[in-house]
Structure formats: C-alpha cells, structure tokens
Amino acid sequence: MTNSTGTAYGLGAYLDGQPNGNDSSSEAYFEQQYNAFTKLMGVRPQYYDFYTDNGQGGAAGLAGSASWTAWSAAKTGDNYVGPGSGTIPVVGVPLSDASGQWGTVDNYYKQIISGSLDADYKGIVDAWAQEGYKTAQFRPGYEFDGTFMGWSPYSDGSAQTEADFVTAFQHVANLIHSEGNADGITAQVVWNPAAMNWTQGDVTQLYPGDQYVDIISLDEYSNIWTGDYTNWSQGGNAQIDPATWAADPVDREHFWQYMNASQYNPTPGLGSAGFSFQNFLDFAKQHNKPISLSETGAGTPSDGSLGPKDDPLFPQWLASTLQKAQAQGLKVTNVNIWSNDQSAYDFVNGERPQEAAAWAKYFGAGSGSGSSGGSGSGGSGSGGSGSGGSGSGGSGSGGSGSGGSGSGGSGSGGSGSGGSVVTLGSGAHTLALKISEDAYQGDAQFTISVDGTQIGGTQTATASHASGQSQTFDVLGNFSAGPHTFTLKFLNDLYGGKPSLDRNLYLTGSTIDGKAVPGGTIVEYGNGPHTFNFQVAASTTPPPANTLTVNQPATLKAAVQAITGTETDPTQPVYLDWRTYGAPAKGDADWVKATVDSSGHFSASVNVDHAGTASTMYAYAGTGAVQAMWTATPS
C-alpha cells in the first residue's frame, strides 16, 4: 500500500480502537481496525485524530496525557501511525477543566490569558515533537460552538465569556506556534467549530484572526439533528413527518449543506445563528485559508428520523461538495473519516457495506488521480446543434489511453436536445423527465418507475450535460388525481479517479402535464434509486355522463327476479328499486345494490311484487340522479 498521495484529499481516520502502549489486546484491536480501514480504502491514512484528556488532574495533567498518547502512537511503528509512517497527528486540545467549565468556563479562560497555564499547553506540543513527529495539527477548543463541550463560550450566555474565549484561543495559538518553532516541527493551529443547526450567537465572531489560524476546519456527520423538517424536495413550503423527511435524499442533502436552514430562511448566510457547511466554505474563502474536516462520518444506529443506517449518499455528497469548493479555489488539506462507534459510525468490518463502498470510491486510493481508460462505447457524435451528442468525427465515449480522453469523441459541437423524445407507456397524463449524463467508457443507464412499478425497460442517456444538452423521456399513464411518486434508478456508475473520469446521471427538470415537479432535479453520482413526489391535479374537464340502461325482462313475473343492465362507467355502484306507489329517494331502505363487472354489466335480484298492478323500475348509479327506467305490470 502507498500512503494517501493518490487520494482526492489527505485521507484521515479515527477508528474503533486506539493505540495503547500499555495493553497488548487493545493495541491488537486497534491494528485490526486500522488494517481493515486500509484494506477497504486501498491506502493508509495520512492523518489520524488524537485527543488530550483534561480529566487527568486538570490543566496540570495535559502534558502527561499528551505524552502517553504520543508515546502509544509512536510505539505502533512505521506500519501504523508511528512518526516513520508519515502520519500527521490531528490533536484535540481542551480549553477547560474542572476548575472552569460550562457555566464557569470563563474562570479557565482567564487562567489561560494570565499565562499561568503556559507550561501545560507547551507540553502538549513537546510531547508529539519528542516522539519524532515533524508535523502536527492542533485543535484548541474543538467544536466550541456546541454547548455539549465544557469549553464552549456559549455555556453561560455572557458576551464577556465569548470575548475571553477569543483572547484565550489567541494565547494558546501563540504558544503552539512558538513551541513548535522551538521544537523544530510544523505545528499548525486549527480553528474548528462543529456544524450546528442553532447556536446562541454568531460563530464567526469567535474567530481569533488570520495570524493565529493555519487551517479552518469543520466537524460534520450525516446524522439529522434538527427541529425543522421542511419539505425541500417538494418546494420547501411545509413541515412533514421527520422519518419521511429523513428518508428523502434531497431533504438530507439540503440539511448537510445548510444545517441551520428553516422553512423561512432556506439558505442562511454568514452571521446567522448556527453554522452550516456552506457557512464554513464561505468563511474560509473570506479568509483565504485551507480547509479540513477534522471529524466526519455517516450512518445511524438504525433507520429513522436521524437518517438511514447505511448511507452511501453522505460520502457522495461530501466528495461532490468538496470538488466544487476546490474548483472555486479552496484547498482541502485532509478529511478525517470516523469508523468509531459500532452502533453509529463503524463501517470497516462490513457493518455498512453501501457506505463503505462510497467512502472507498470517493476518498480512497485512486480518488485523486486518473486510471487507465478503455476504448469506450457509443457512437460518433455529429457537430453543430441538434441531437445525438457533441463532438465531430471522434468515436466512443471515454476514448483510449491513460485516464480516458473525454466523452463523445474529439472536437466540439453545439448544444442541442441531446436526442429525440423517448415515450414510455400510454395514457392521458404525461410525466416528462429531462435527462443528461457525463459519459465515461459508455453511457449512463437507468430505469424509471411510477408508484413502484417500472415503466419500460432499461433506458440509456445520450445527452451531454457538459454541453448543456438534455433529452426528454415522456412517461405516460392514467394517473388518478392526488399524490404519486416516480423513481429514477442509476444502474451503471463508473469512476476513474477524478471528476473528468466519472459517469454520472442528471435529472435536470421534471413536469407533470406541463407543471413543474417541485424538487424534481438531482445529480446521481452513484448507483441506486432516488424517489420524487408529484401531484396530479383534478381534471378540469368533467367526465362524460354515466349512461345507465336497465333491461326489462321479456316475461315479468311477480317474484324475486334477476334484473340486468349496463353502465358506461363501471367504477360507479348501481342501485335498483321496484315501486308501485311514489318515487323512491336515495337512502331508502329497499334499494338493492347490483353487482357490476369491469365491462359495466350488472345484475341484481329484485323483488318484483304486486301482480296485476303497473309498477316502475327505478335506478341510479353513484352520485347520479334517481331515474325511472320503465313501467310494466307483472303477471
């Protein structure tokens, strides 16, 4: 195995089991977990999370805790996380202890600011330098915007406490930098909030200043912790059931990007309460700092309102979002993936196979470099505008040679429809889906289902997304008025190691009978289904009137007799009544309900009484009016 030079970003980890120089069984378990992670990802992690314990005698015990942790890590050797392995420690640094935490945390900040704890914090840096590590990241007061941390300045609600947090951070950052220089190592300071759906204040006001910070980081997991369940996939105009919301990929992706969103503020900017992934990216751009994810992970103990237990979508979303951030000029140093809690985040031993495959695909070996491309498949494109793809003269998609050579052949063509309209099924309603693709060694293939039933066979995309094309797939059906679903299932994802070598499927728009389907767009980066909701409006054209015919028997006897007939709308129930005196009303007790078959033929056993007296057969269907069908005299 190589180290993580072939990955899209510096690969980091935190596993279920940690180095332990004093316990051989604990050490063996760590090595087993590390080996499983390395085998899955195809590469060893270059970064690893470590933590300094503030419960070992308070601040006075910080250096001792760091020394034991660094010694245990170094003892694992070059094959694991020792200094010779090239591993960069990512070290959590507490900013509180029992003398000042939560409601009294400002007492601790003041100790830091006074300089009385300088030796303790310098000792953390010394511990890693003395074990031979040449580069380390230090995270003072990590996840400080969450009041679940004892060092959060939001714990006591005081503006002075928030100001003292910033000053204390500045002081510790100076200690880390100066002690790193003295020890001859690169000691990087990481400003590291957690993604939060709500905070007491503006998180950006807790930033200490660019001169104190080397990396801006975020901790974000797939778990859904929110009280806002806006139906983002259906227009973002209502609250829905939490479990239904969490099962919808569009809703989850919006939450991951804008964790602090609400129905009335769908994309909160900097300065809003909470701190989202988008806020994180925007803030790093403002300050021209590299970014990292010091902690990230996917999965929950079980399917439900926190999201799916085995969730491949989160790694896919994260990779795509980071790729876009890189394209906008942000540098991503490392992504530290957690497989550390058997009930929530473990995936390296088969606990969450879909998630594991996604982490390996997007963050493992080959995710940052091209792979050998084949000759590909797919016909040659024609230049100019129109359908059939882009390019002129070249053949195949993906091309030949190392890494592939593009899609649809060489040359350039105009944008167009990407192919003629494909019609599937039959009926009065039209669900129109606009589809495009990133072709790589062949075209994207997919299926379409409505209300759980697949319509047609396997479909093939031909329109180039990069060229601005789309192809329309019209799905026809007789859909009843009310809610329905359609499912787009990507079948043949392929990834060659970087965005230009990636087969993807795009749904760029969808309509039902010409009206846009809210949230009816998606990018499919990996195989699997995505389901969307749509609504069929009640018809404004009244249905044709139901024509009811009741047959008069050739011989009418005063007895219980089978009366037959037909109606033009077999969905409507039919009722019969034989009356000698007066006309019946709906709701009378003597109506007889007929049996109607699918063709509209019906039959009922009716008591024809009053021999020798002229009487009338009445009938009605569904909500229709009572009708006098014929009058006769039974014998």
CATH number of the CATH domain containing 503 = 2.60.60.40
Q: Tell me whether strands 615-621 and 627-632 are parallel, antiparallel or unpaired.
A: antiparallel
Residues 103 and 9 in one domain: yes
Task: Establish if 600 belongs to a structural domain.
Answer: yes
Same domain, 168 and 267: yes
Given a cut of 90, whether residue 527 has pLDDT beyond it is: no
Residue 615 within a domain:
yes
Determine, yes or no, domain membership for 404. no
Separation between Cα atoms, residue 12 and residue 4, nearest integer Å: 9
Query: Ranked by mean pLDDT, which of 168-172, 393-397, 493-497, 595-599 comes out on top?
Result: 168-172
For the cut 70, the answer to whether the pLDDT of residue 110 exceeds it is yes
* Sheet with 615-621, side-by-side order of all strands: 592-593, 574-579, 615-621, 627-632
CATH no. for residue 620?
2.60.40
Q: How far is CA 562 from CA 15, 515, 559, in A?
A: 78, 49, 10
Q: How is the chain split among helix, strand and coil, in percent rounded to 5?
A: 25, 30, 45
Asked which of 348, 363, 378 is the last residue of a domain, the reply is 363
| Torsion sign over Cα 109, 113, 117, 119 | positive
pLDDT of residue 519: 72
Q: How many CA atoms lie within 13 A of 438 on its CB side?
A: 19
Average pLDDT on 81-93 reads 97
Whether 401 is in a domain gets the answer: no
* Domain assignment of residue 375, yes or no: no
Tens-digit pLDDT profile for residues 19-47: 999 999 999 999 999 999 999 999 999 99
422 and 337 in a common domain: no
Indicate whether 381 belongs to any domain.
no
State the total domains in the chain: 3
> What Cα–Cα distance (Å) separates residue 256 from each residue in 84, 223, 471, 487?
36, 9, 30, 22
Mean pLDDT score of the chain, rounded to an integer? 87
Q: Which of 363, 386, 401 is the last residue of a domain?
A: 363
Listed residue (321, 341, 203) closest to 256, CA to CA: 321
Kindly state whether residues 523 and 615 are assigned to the same domain: no
Residues 172 and 274 in one domain: yes
**Predicted pLDDT of residue 344:** 81
64/192 same-domain check: yes
Residue 456 lies in a domain: yes
Q: What pLDDT score was predicted for residue 508? A: 84
Strands of 559-567's sheet in order across: 548-550, 559-567, 601-608, 595-596
Q: Residue 320 pLDDT more than 70?
A: yes
Backbone angles phi, psi at 314, to 5 degrees: -65, -50
Which residue range forms the structural domain that includes residue 154? Answer: 4-363
Please indicate, yes or no, whether residues 568 and 532 belong to a single structural domain of this protein.
no
Q: 615-621 and 574-579: which strand pairing?
A: antiparallel
Distance CA 16, CA 28 (A): 12
Residues 96 and 214 in one domain: yes
Domain boundary among the residues 363, 393, 408 is at 363
- Residues 336-369 pLDDT 10s: 999 998 778 899 989 999 999 999 999 999 887 5
What's the gap between Cα 236 and its chain centre? 16
Q: Do 22 and 161 belong to one domain?
A: yes
Q: Are residues 437 and 568 in the same domain?
A: no
Same domain, 154 and 231: yes
In a shared domain, residues 187 and 41:
yes
pLDDT in tens, 528-574: 888 889 999 886 655 567 889 999 998 888 999 999 999 988 889 99
Give domain status of residue 285, yes or no: yes
Task: State the pTM of this model.
Answer: 0.64
Work out the pLDDT band at 299, boundaries 50, 70, 90: confident
Q: What is the pLDDT of residue 435?
A: 94
3-state secondary structure 213-281: CCEEEEEEECCCCCCCCECHHHCCCCECCHHHHHHCHHHHHHHHHCCCCECCECCCCCCCCCECHHHHH
